[in-house]
Amino acid sequence: MNMQTRLDSLRLATRLGWSAQLPVGASEHARQEFEADAERARTSPGDATLPGILQRAAEQSDWSERDVHGILERAATTPSSAVCELLTSTVQAGIGATFLGTADPTAGLATEVDLLDFRVNKRAILVGERLAATARGAEFKEVAFPATLEETRLFRFGGQFFLDEQEIAGDRVGFLSAAVESITRSCGFVKGDLVASVLLANADLRDEVPLFDADHANLGVGVLGKDTLAAALCAMALQVGPDGAPLNVRGRTLLVPPALEGAAREAIRALEIQDASPEMRIGLKVDARLSIGVTDPRDATAYEGSQTAWFLFADPLQAPVLEMCFLQGTNRTPVARSWNPDRGGQWGVGFSIAFDVGCTALGFRGAYMSSGAGS
């Protein structure tokens, strides 16, 4: 088998995340090679690195050690080569695996949406009126959808690193893996920083009332405990739509700083009903940003935290409050691109990793905050 055919098979395997699927129309020979590569990656994930891939290719073909070394050198100095593309695909696959394998700090707190571009977008929560009975022969009632438009936009966060030709040829895959993992985890931190910034800023919504406010019936002062958590659940359940009809919103996630984790667990246990249905259970999230404070990654504004404040959120699909937005086409994950140094005195290949994401508050009915200061 020639070198290019083997590289094509390996490149496809890496790009598709080592899943044994090929594009329609692939030859039977290519399919067999690909499936064999995918099976090796599944059973020996530690070998799914560029030098390891090339070494396996050499063992199954007429490549010599000198061939492999030459391919690695061309990957470092020729970004358009098949191997450089393979290396970029390997980095992207590593980003996806690390990002999806990291705990999402926004799970249970925010909805997600894709935006087409970086312009300011108008987003809304539509809360429709109740339906009315329709008499025989009568027209249906026209349902109005009062909408409160909030502005949101994407921000690009990114980092880069450079892989010297000697590091590639020297088989220093540990550096590449560590760099990819570090930058990818930083992208995950951005999501948590954005959510914490929105909560601690407590900025005005379009109704010119802060997100958490007495006028929104979602702000308290009680110290976290069984009774105050029950009061928060009650306040959320009594939220009404623009037409005054009850929404029956149920609190599902309790968000607290580390100092309140013990009190939160006790309060949840005290209110939990034995054999309760899943929709009646309360989950717990602990975030140190709430006590330490956070710097908004969008504009470097610093927000102070609190050791006593706590938050309750409804299922974001039932009563959305926070919305994370991502650039369409990125699969809501960081994206990598390769680049070469702009001067001939340095050989190697660089990687830029960008994460396009934003966060805004769309509504208030599905969230409750207590300062924990006591009455």
What pLDDT digit, counting tens, does each position of 177-203 carry?
Answer: 777 888 888 888 999 999 999 999 999
Domain co-membership, 233 together with 340:
yes
pLDDT recorded at residue 169: 57
Domain co-membership, 65 together with 107:
no
Distance CA 165, CA 1 (A): 27
Domain co-membership, 107 together with 25:
no
Domain co-membership, 297 together with 160:
yes
What pLDDT digit, counting tens, does each position of 323-342 carry?
Answer: 999 999 988 999 888 887 76
Distances (CA, A) of 85 to 44, 82, 204: 22, 5, 47
Domain co-membership, 173 together with 33:
no
State how many domains the chain has.
2
Residue 64's domain spans which residues? 1-78
The residue among 263 and 45 whose pLDDT is bigger is 263
User: Is residue 326, in this structure, part of any structural domain at all?
Assistant: yes
pLDDT > 90 fraction of the chain, expressed in percent and rounded: 39
What tokens does 28 get?
């039977």
10 pLDDT above the threshold of 90: no
Domain co-membership, 74 together with 188:
no
pLDDT band at 35 (very low <50, low <70, confident <90, very high): low
User: Is residue 179, in this structure, part of any structural domain at all?
Assistant: yes
Domain co-membership, 152 together with 33:
no
User: Is residue 90, in this structure, part of any structural domain at all?
Assistant: no
What pLDDT digit, counting tens, does each position of 142-171 carry?
Answer: 776 656 678 889 999 988 888 777 766 554
Other C-beta atoms lying within 10 Å of the C-beta of residue 113? 16
Q: DSSP 3-state helix, strand, coil percentages of the chain (rounded to 5)? A: 40, 20, 40
Domain co-membership, 167 together with 25:
no
Q: What is the CATH number of the domain that holds 356?
A: 3.90.1690
